[in-house]
Amino acid sequence: MKEYNVAVMGATGAVGVEMLKILEERKFPVKNLKLLASERSVGKEMVFSGKKIKVELLTRDSFKGVDIVLASAGASISKQFVNDILSANALLIDNSSAFRMEKDVPLVVPEINPEDVKLNKGIIANPNCTTIVMIVPLKPLHDYGKIKRIVMSSYQAASGAGAKAMAELEQQTKDWSQGKELKVEKFQYQLLFNLIPHIDVFTENGYTKEEMKVVNETRKIMHAPDMQITCTTVRVPVLRAHSESINIETEKKITVEKARELLSKAPGVKLEDDPANKKYPMPLFATGKDDIFVGRIREDFSRKNCLNLWVSGDQIRKGAALNAVQIAEIIVKEGLK
């Protein structure tokens, strides 16, 4: 099998660290691996396949000889270095919001639109984590009954704001137990014992950018520009794994039994729907798992052809790192690089 020179941009962040784990776990054909980060991480050693690799400074010359760049360093950094990546003839799989809505950039979830990978012109975008957690279990339902409308509320873990945000929640927990004053830096308010209905900045229409990402990205991925979607995104005091309450309206009726049948066979989905025995998705059990867990499936008796679902998925894995590596695997399988 052909092997590839891979660079991980933002290697020391929460998603970058997870990318290394997943590349190793899934035995991605890595020939050489470059770990790229800012000055404060240069020289740090990370382990990949039993070998210690030193983190290098991210510069414009970092991409010479690289085949695939897995980027999770933020939108501004991706925009800063994209021309250098393309000039080096490397393929950029970008986990930031920098290019998601660009017309010529495919936005890909491998379980949903893997064929879009072939449309790339050097850049493939990874969707927002909240979008991925929602859209993976909706695909089989959409294929069967055609979704007309989605109403979603999210319950998003601290991990969505990065490693420092997770550390802040942990520190607040320790400080509270010791009667100390709680420090608030990463969020608008303390997250411990609280819910914050504010993720990203507010836009003119009253929705946050996070909420509009879900709307716009879902339409693009599903190739459904007229799909009606509304959502409210909320930060909750959970370390890792997002959860979502989803209500869908379909053109064709989907019974609970049919939904369970479809979801039980769907790639990337784990059906966990047995309320009588207290089996339902929770971030506690979704953490560290590849699949999106789906349960609490029930008909919405207030409206025709509607279903309610509850889902939980690991934001760092399937919501970010795993999805990016799966895209790279399609590139390898299809011989596109």
Of 129, 142, 231, 306, the catalytic one is: 129
The percent of residues above 90 in pLDDT, for the chain, comes to 98
Q: What is the pLDDT of residues 259-280, one digit of tens each?
A: 999 999 999 999 999 999 999 9
Question: Is the predicted pLDDT of residue 100 greater than 90, yes or no?
Answer: yes
CB count in 10 Å sphere of residue 94: 26
Measuring CA to CA, how many Å separate 284 from each of 29, 188, 223, 229, 243? 32, 25, 33, 28, 10
Query: How confident is the model over 207-255, as pLDDT tens digits?
Result: 999 999 999 999 999 999 999 999 999 999 999 999 999 999 999 999 9
To the query of whether residue 198 is one of the catalytic residues in this protein, the response is no
pLDDT value at 163 more than 90: no
Nearest alpha carbon to residue 273 among 255, 257, 296: 296
Question: Residues 302-323: what's their mean pLDDT?
Answer: 97
Tell me which DSSP letter residue 224 carries.
Answer: -
In the residue annotation, 223 being an active-site residue is answered as no
Residue 161 near residue 142, CB atoms below 8 Å: no
The confidence band for 1, taking pLDDT boundaries of 50, 70 and 90, is confident
Task: Kindly name the residue from 142, 231, 242, 306 that is annotated as catalytic.
Answer: 242
C-alpha triplet 148, 153, 158: angle, nearest 5°: 140
Residues of the chain with CATH 3.40.50.720: 4-127+320-334
CATH 3.40.50.720 holds for 4-127+320-334 = yes
Q: Which CATH number fits domain 131-314: 3.40.640.10, 3.40.50.2000, 2.60.40.10, 3.30.360.10?
A: 3.30.360.10
Section 313-317 average pLDDT: 96
Average pLDDT over residues 280-288: 97
What average pLDDT does the segment 288-305 reach? 97
